[in-house]
Amino acid sequence: MRFSLVAVFVTTVCIGADRDFNGRWDLRVPKEPRSRAWWLEVEGAGTPGIKGTFVGFPGGNTDVIPKIAVEEGRLHFSVDSSNKVHIDYYARLVNGRLEGEMRQGGAVLEFTGVRAPEINEHDDGSWVEGKPIALFNGKDLSGWHAQVPGKELGWTVENGALSNRPSANNLVSDQKFWNFKLHVEFKVSEETNSGIGLRGRYEVQILDDYGKPPDLHGNGALYSRILPSMNASRKPGEWQAYDIRLVGRDVTIVLNDHKVIDKGHIDGLTAIAMDANEGEPGPLILQGDHRHVEIRKVILTPLIHK
């Protein structure tokens, strides 16, 4: 009888500990080659119905995890990349934080995780505009730096516009911001794929997709998370404009004078993320590591609580 009671107690404690994996986690990956952060959500740990969602390597989507379990106090999930490479992730809880590693063949990449913070600010009419800041002066790259150290920048200023060559570095603003509205004017070439990273965490997609249906990865989308209500894209070679408003996790996106997302809720990081500190101000990112794009205005207006 004593053994049975002990067994029940141990089982109950293990299930309770397993449940501590539940929640949303912001993951820092110090040696990630592209200087990116990851994101993980776990639900149902401690039950047979455990499931998870992941943003990180090997893809840029918000992916449902196909295989996930808690085994002897360790979270384990795995994926197979598009080229059939098997990748395993392992993590333990240490003082309320995740400590883990990604294993791909013989390669190991360590990561740590903290719980994503609750952000209780909302775009409820209580925010007023501060003084606009022109983050691009139309002349040079003052106020911007490369995301990936040691990689060639790959951006120039031509005719008053930022212009990248394909596979350039991403540009990161020297300044960091919290709540703001943002005006950006851009021009895509054929098959352009670019984006704007808000607070260094949440990507508003830039894409050549004129005439196509709205898509989670299309122009106007909060990448892989919030679908735009319509495709408001213009043809390649035409200047386009974003007017974006971010308060807490509430985002409103106006593309070419069409409101395509109205106070959409951002659940967590997207693939562009380089800064996992979701409760802190972060920089803007201009994505240059895909195809050619031109950007001629970047005007940010801080939003201040009344």
Token readout for 1 is: 């009888």
Share of the chain above pLDDT 90, in %: 86
Is the pLDDT score of 236 beyond 90?
yes
**Residue 153 — φ and ψ, nearest 5°?**
-65, -55
Name the band, by pLDDT with cuts 50, 70 and 90, for residue 289.
confident
> Where residue 183 falls among pLDDT bands split at 50, 70, 90?
very high
Mean pLDDT over the full length of the chain: 93
List C-alpha distances in Å: 123 to 136, 221, 261, 263: 26, 19, 13, 7
Question: What is the three-class DSSP state of 299?
Answer: strand
pLDDT band with cut points at 50, 70 and 90 for residue 105: confident
Among candidates 290, 281, 102, 260, which has minimal Cα distance to 180? Answer: 281
Burial of residue 118 (number of CB atoms within 10 Å: 0-12, 13-18, 19+): exposed
Mean pLDDT of 193-197: 96
Report the C-alpha gap between 272 and 64 in whole angstroms. 18
Higher pLDDT, 174 or 17: 174
Report the alpha-carbon distance of residue 56 to residue 79 in Å, rounded. Answer: 11
Weakest-pLDDT range from 118-122, 171-175, 187-191:
187-191
Residues 194, 196, 200, 201, CA torsion sign: negative
- Domains of the chain plus CATH, in order, are 2-115 (2.40.128.20), 127-305 (2.60.120.560)
| pLDDT level of residue 291 (50, 70, 90 thresholds) | confident
Give this prediction's pTM: 0.93
* Nearest-angstrom CA–CA distance, 7 and 17: 15
Mean pLDDT, range 27-54, rounded to an integer: 95
pLDDT tens digits for range 41-83? 999 999 999 999 999 977 788 999 999 999 999 999 998 877 7
Q: Is the pLDDT reported for residue 9 higher than 60? A: no
How confident is the model at residue 34, as a pLDDT?
87
pLDDT at position 6 is: 38
